[in-house]
Structure 1
Amino acid sequence: MRAFASYAAAGSLLVMAACSPQVPDSAAGIDGDPFAPPPAAGTTINGDPLVPPARVSTEPVPAATAPRSPGSAAAAGTFNTASTAASGADIARETAAALAASGSGAEPLQASPANPAPQMAGEGRISDENDFQAVSARQSIESDAARLERQRAQYQQVQPVAVPQRTEEAGPNIVRYALGTSNPKGVRVYSRSGINLKARNQRNCAEFASPDQAQVAFLDAGGPERDRKALDPDGDGYACGWDPAPYRLAVQN
């Protein structure tokens, strides 16, 4: 029984060895020659290129669309001066014809390094206030003193005037009302009665842009004792969430 098991294990090893890939001998070299030189860079072990060469067309390329090689004269910055001069002359002729057709009568400016710089009309020049030599050439200590005297002569002092007094006809004064009351916001002082006070308060308060305007309208309509529009449903004397605390705090500080 042991002999049969040994034979079976040996047979399995032989089958596995036959199925496993063969590992080439690193000492065998290329084509079996251990002293053969290594393949060139960019090639396979057989000497073939890794990337096949691109197919180059043999058809001639027109001169207008021919690419410029790095070593060509066009790539080095030299162009066809004859064609460039011809196109420049055409542009100059077209410009002169357009000016003549417009009837302006202005002679076109010929761009040339030999032409002088155009003169700026009027006072259109750069300020030289930071140039000590230029300023000292036209101004002196005496001229500065005279200029200061002229400025002092033109000086006028406006006298303060009294602030106009506020009249009662201008409407209720919410600042005076805030300083004349002492109860905090939300503390009931006046009795309120009616139905749907909350809904009426939300609808009527939405008509005002700010609580200050609501408080003015509330006082002008008989508040804080009377509240026909339900602007003060909790009876604290303040309409639409108006708070007198900021005015009182300003006086304390």
Structure 2
Amino acid sequence: MRRMAFPVVAILSLAACEPQVPDSGAGVGFGSYSEYQYQMAQERAARNAQLSGTTTVRAPEATGAPSPTAVPSTGVTSADLAAAGIGSAQAAPGSTAITPAPAGSAVITPAPGAPLAATAAGAAYVGGSNPGISDEQDFSAVAARESIQSDADRIAQQRAQREVVAPAAVPSRPGDTGPDIVAYALQTTNPVGRQAYMRTLPSQSKATRNCAKYPSPDVAQRAFLAAGGPERDRYGIDPDGDGFACGWNPEPFRRAVGR
């Protein structure tokens, strides 16, 4: 008997620890799903009313939701929502409706601090510092105020205001010192490898060793010209006597000016 009682007690203990499944038909905190929909509609209407500048509104009745009198509310009816500009195009009694004017109509800007008022028919209202909608894409509106002569006058006025700036010499870069290898390249005419200057005991192996000391042919050419080149080859880096050290080539600079 004791052996049979022990499994029964174990089963009852496990059943007591099992979590309870909530009732799905109990609603979502508002009594029923219809009331939940109604509450969400109220909150959306309140946000829209706050953005539009109105004070208190009540959301339109959702399908299946209780009537406004059955559920406590601090808002107003659907007619009041229409007066606030929500859900209906009809304005409340005593309010002023402003409809967008057609493109090309006149623009009326009220004085600072002036109350909002109805504008004349065919006029676009521009409140405060908000700019009006441009009508530059409306051919009829632009054609009504512009002509070929007005375009010509505007172009002439812009040309009269044009300021011509004379070109100035390009300043030297900081740290850019030494001979101008571009000017030297444009002064020369002999091709690379053709001797133009005498060399005493030229040595190609010595030139190869000395050229390895320079990071680029441009730097070697500047050092060559600064040391008396092209007439003199103090560092032995122009053994063929063409005036171009360490394989430096003036052809790219010549082609840039059409030579």
TM class by smaller structure: 0.3 to 0.5
Structure with max Cα Rg:
1
- Structure having greater relative contact order (Cα 8 Å, sep ≥ 6): 1
TM-score by length of 1: 0.42
What is the TM-score with the length of structure 2 in the denominator? Answer: 0.41
